[in-house]
């Protein structure tokens, strides 16, 4: 018998002829997350991945694998031989470790991929269930709502497990294109990035600040949020763009009530130019319909006009509580609520226009040298690259101007 970790994939195996592309991406992402962690090897058998490792490293491996999108669950399994004695011995070892301390109900579920095996699935489940009832007086059967299940997978080998952990689901990073996330320092945008990453999109970020009107600590907060996201998405770039001169130009030449809409259109145009240069296929924002002045349907429509590539808004119909729940789950909430102002809040007007008309917004933009302002912002931006070292021990930050 040998203890190991089993990884089960969900939606990947519904992908038909393209399945191998998604599966390869998932395996690469698992290997990326296991850099710096000792394990002996891994292999595939009948749609599952098996990782061989020392049991002292199981929890660390499990926690890192569970950050990979595309995984249904991870289980601690015992690999054994295809005979009834060894199968039950493995079951007994598993149950003795996890379920011998108090009364539980259980159900045995067998799956026989190898049809040449002597026992059909219902027969095997019944036989093993009888052995368990004989040797574990604290356990009883409940086929409808058991406290736990004993899973028996009969393949080339037999795998026994009862301890499994739910994965994130979705699709593996890199299987659904490359997007650019507009990352603020708030709660919403990291969650938006997490959600599109869950659908397989590789992400980089663009962060707009207005130093010296906002502090350098506000920029560091955005970088910290990107670092949290990168534990799920892998290496990441952050384009850091200073909008201070743009905000000053808007305040000097335009109706202050339009500041939010005008600045958002600048952000979209700048992001479009970066996307064109770097082959990003979509922009992603944390906007939720009706949450603030720039997120009314009229505002969203006017902002959309400024982008030539799709703007994805995965939070558009979500309640704030649901967004906060996801931020807790991904580990970004505490960082997001740190009290550092971003450029949107610093320059937000007291009475923002909530139902802007595109023709009036464009008339205001005629008072600005848009091309010069955007070119200057891009020429002076920095790129921060988050890259995990081979031993997975720390994050490297590299800051440089756009080449």
More confidently predicted of 352 and 317:
317
The whole-angstrom separation of Cα 355 and Cα 353 is 6
Tokens of 188: 């919403």
- Please provide the distance, in angstroms rounded to a whole number, between the alpha carbons at the two ends of the chain: 56
Banded pLDDT at 300 (limits 50, 70, 90):
very high
β-bridge partners, 49 = 7, 44
Tens digits of per-residue pLDDT, 258-284? 999 999 999 999 999 999 999 999 999
Tokens of 148: 């736990």
Tens digits of per-residue pLDDT, 63-120? 999 999 999 999 999 999 999 999 999 999 999 999 988 999 999 999 999 999 999 9
Q: What is the rounded average pLDDT for all residues in the chain?
A: 91
Banded pLDDT at 17 (limits 50, 70, 90):
confident
User: Which among 84, 80, 69 is positioned nearest to 10, based on CA atoms?
Assistant: 69
* Whether residue 141 has pLDDT greater than 60: yes
The string of DSSP codes covering 37-105 is S---EEEEETTEEEEE--GGGHHHHHHHHTTSTTEEEEEEEEEE-SSHHHHHHHHHHHHHHHSSSS-EE
| Mean pLDDT score, 30-35 | 92
């Amino acid at each position: 018998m040998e203890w190991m970790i089993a990884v089960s994939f969900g939606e990947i195996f519904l992908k038909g002829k393209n399945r191998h592309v998604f599966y390869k991406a998932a395996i690469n992402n698992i290997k990326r997350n296991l850099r710096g962690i000792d394990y002996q090897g891994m292999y595939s058998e009948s749609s599952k991945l098996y990782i061989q490792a020392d049991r002292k490293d199981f929890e660390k491996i499990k926690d890192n694998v569970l950050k990979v999108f595309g995984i249904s669950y991870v289980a601690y399994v015992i690999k054994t031989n295809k005979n009834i004695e060894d199968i039950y011995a493995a079951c007994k070892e598993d149950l003795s470790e996890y379920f011998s301390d108090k009364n539980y109900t259980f159900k045995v579920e067998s799956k026989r991929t190898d049809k040449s095996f002597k026992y059909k699935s219902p027969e095997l489940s019944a036989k093993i269930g009888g052995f368990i009832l004989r040797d574990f007086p604290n356990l009883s059967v409940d086929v409808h709502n058991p406290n736990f299940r004993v899973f028996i997978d009969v393949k080339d080998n037999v795998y026994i497990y009862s301890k499994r952990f739910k994965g994130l689901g979705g699709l593996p990073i890199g299987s659904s294109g490359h997007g650019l996330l507009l990352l603020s320092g708030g709660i919403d945008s990291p969650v938006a990035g997490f959600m599109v990453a869950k659908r397989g999109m590789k992400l980089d970020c663009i962060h707009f600040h207005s130093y010296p009107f906002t502090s350098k600590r506000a920029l560091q907060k955005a970088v910290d949020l990107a670092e949290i996201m990168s534990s799920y998405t892998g290496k990441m770039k952050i384009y850091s763009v200073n909008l201070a001169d743009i905000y000053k130009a808007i305040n000097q030449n335009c109706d202050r009530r339009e500041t939010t809409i005008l600045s958002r259109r600048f952000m979209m145009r700048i992001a479009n130019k970066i996307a064109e240069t770097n082959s990003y296929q979509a922009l992603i924002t944390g906007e939720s319909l009706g949450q603030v002045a720039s997120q009314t349907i009229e505002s969203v429509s006017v902002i959309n006009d400024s982008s030539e590539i799709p703007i994805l808004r995965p939070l558009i119909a979500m309640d704030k509580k649901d967004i906060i729940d996801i931020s807790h789950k991904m580990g970004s909430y505490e960082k997001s609520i740190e009290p550092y102002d971003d450029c949107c809040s610093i320059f937000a007007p007291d009475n923002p226009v909530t139902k802007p008309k595109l023709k009036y917004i464009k008339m205001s933009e005629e008072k600005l040298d848009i091309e010069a302002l955007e070119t200057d912002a891009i020429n002076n931006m920095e790129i921060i690259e988050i890259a995990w070292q081979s031993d997975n021990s720390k994050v490297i930050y590299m800051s440089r101007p756009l080449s």
